[in-house]
Amino acid sequence: MIKVENVWFSYDGVRYVLKDVIMKFSEGNYIAIMGENGSGKTTLLKHLNGLLKPNKGRVLVDGIETSKIPVSELARKVAIVFQNPEMMFFSERVYDEISFALRNFGLDEEIIEKTVKKVLNIFGLDEYATESPFNLSEGEKRRLAFACVLAWNPKYIVLDEPTAGQDVFQRELLRGLIKQLTSQGRTVIIASHDVEFVAETKPYIYLLSKGEVIGEGKAEDVLTDDKLIKKAGLIKPQIVEVFNYLGFNYREILDVNDALDFIIKKVSERNV
Amino acid sequence: MYRLTSAFIYEGRKTWVHELDPRSKLILSATVMLISILSESLLIQILVWTGEMLISFIGKELRKFLNSALLVLPFSVFILLINYVFGRGLMASITLSLRLVAMVGAFSIFFALTPPEDFILMLESLKVPALISFSFSLALRFIPVMAEETQRIIDAQRSRGLKVDSRNPIRRLKMMMPIFIPLIILSIKKSMEVAEALETRCFDPNAKRTSIIELKMTMRDYLIIALSLAILLAYFILKCSI
């Protein structure tokens, strides 16, 4: 479990970017940290693997305080995929790019080879193993970034704005990936202001505004709360807006699929 | 990283020092730098640095000025050690290392207290070709962007288990590769994007450009220039008389 306990953080020692943040991420859970740009989402994510240390308060990963152990050790448990995948690429071959972290963790060459091949296969990158990562398409680069991180089987997977600039196919892939990871008992934490994606995937939500947690709860409770969503500088999912406009207030309807199920159910009830 | 490099970045603050004509600030910075370069006296170096500190304090940029000293501290200590080891004497070695700090401080007081647009206008008023003045100012504006980008890359690689704090210099250099390669590639991409953005906005370096703001010297500027020249003159008189 990751516990964020009363964390305060400032980059310049003057203005606090995080203010008394309290959060808890349990095993196998899927959590979204939402808020407008500049609300402190990425800063908070960087605290989870010790890239940033709190000025006040503490972050505990499986009971270990992040300020007490180096990032290179914590990274084995908490993996972060940043918004721009190109920031992490430097190898000549896709194969080397994936094996980089495994070598950093001191694994045997035999295990590395086995793992890289398996991961290449999972993410459909087999045919690009000897290609340069920079020659891949944007979607493939994104997949490679996930492959690089998931290769070492981390317990906690943190994704920063995973849907930014992604097409429908990539979003679908991401949805499937999150589902698969959580079903394996791994914790997935995303930072996003993509309300529609969050509505589709229905995680437990923490709302951040100006560095403070202004609300938390299940997706159906948070995303339908007018006041809270406005306060966080977000807008409600379109389907919720449409249903509200029509005079309905069903908290369980957050995306098109929910709406479709609801309509089919109502129509069949009427026909009966 | 960003905190340190921001020592040379103007961040929108407005005091009367910021509002001075960039030419007078350039003369002031050049004066203190020249004195620092020419002088071999520890006392003069301390005076120069204190003077720079006072200017940055008046311009409410003391934190940035101290960051500039922090940025060159490792090099400064290196200079001190090398000179001392090779028998230059402690005082002379301290003077040399302090000279570097004072020179970088002079850069900091000029760039942190001068808006980039004033800087371009200054270069244009000094008849520097537009292509050079524009490239220079663009490079200047990109320093904080690149510093932030570097930090992001470091964070991304550390998240993949990269240890950047090895004591072995060769190992340390090797570990820089995963940071430098993405940085170079992203920089090239960014520069191409900027070039395209400029072209789409009809940028022509050879065209005669007009400006809505024109530089104007005020009494304060003349006083600053006079003061700078007086200090320089006093230094030469003092140097010749000793």
Residue B190 CA, distance from chain mean position: 23
- Contact call for B161 and A72, based on CB within 8 A: yes
For A147, B150, B190, B197, the CA distances from A141, given in Å and listed in that order, are 10, 20, 18, 25
What DSSP string runs through B157-170?
HHTTT-----S-HH
Residue B133 pLDDT: 83
A214 burial class (0-12, 13-18, 19+ CB within 10 angstroms)?
middle
A77 at the B interface (CB within 8 A)?
Answer: no
Closest C-alpha among B9, B10, B21, B28 to residue B106: B28
Q: What are phi and psi of A64, to 5 degrees?
A: -100, 130
Q: What would the pLDDT profile of A8-34 be if each residue is shown by its tens digit?
A: 999 888 899 999 999 999 999 999 999
- Contact call for A75 and B159, based on CB within 8 A: yes
Residue A117 pLDDT: 92
Ranges in chain B, pLDDT < 50: none
Q: In chain B, which residues have their Cβ closer than 8 Å to the Cβ of A101?
A: 160-161
User: Which residues 152-171 on chain A approach chain B with CB closer than 8 angstroms?
Assistant: 152
Tokens 């030469």 sit on residue: B236
How many CB atoms lie under 10 A from the CB of residue A78? 26
Residue B37 pLDDT: 92
Residue A167 pLDDT: 85
Q: Give domain limits for chain A.
A: 237-272
Residue A43 pLDDT: 94
ipTM (interface pTM): 0.76
Q: What span, in angstroms and rounded, lies between the C-alpha atoms of B197 and B200?
A: 5
Q: What would the pLDDT profile of B129-179 be if each residue is shown by its tens digit?
A: 878 888 887 887 787 788 888 888 988 888 888 887 767 777 777 788 888
How many CB atoms lie under 10 A from the CB of residue A99? 21
Mean pLDDT of A48-58: 93
For A64, A148, A206, B215, B241, the CA distances from A30, given in Å and listed in that order, are 21, 21, 11, 58, 78
Q: Is the pTM of this model over 0.90?
A: no
Residue A267 pLDDT: 87
Share above pLDDT 90 across residues of chain A, in percent, rounded to a whole number: 53
Bridge partners (DSSP) of residue A212 are A209
The answer to whether A47 touches A158, Cβ cutoff 8 Å, is no
Q: What is the dihedral of CA A141, A146, A150, A154, to 10 degrees?
A: 140
Q: What span, in angstroms and rounded, lies between the C-alpha atoms of A254 and A223?
A: 8
A165 pLDDT band (50/70/90 cuts)?
confident
For residue A255, pLDDT over 80 is answered with yes
Which of A209-213, A241-245, A255-259, B212-216 is predicted with the least confidence, judged by mean pLDDT? B212-216
Residue B88 pLDDT: 85
Q: In chain B, which residues have their Cβ closer than 8 Å to the Cβ of A90?
A: 177-182
Which of A78-87, A199-208, B23-32, B199-208 is predicted with the least confidence, judged by mean pLDDT? B199-208
SS3 A35: coil
B153 at the A interface (CB within 8 A)?
Answer: yes
A256 pLDDT band (50/70/90 cuts)?
confident
Query: What is the H or E stretch that residue A212 is in?
Result: strand A212-218
Look at strands A16-25 and A2-10 and give their pairing: antiparallel
A107 at the B interface (CB within 8 A)?
Answer: no
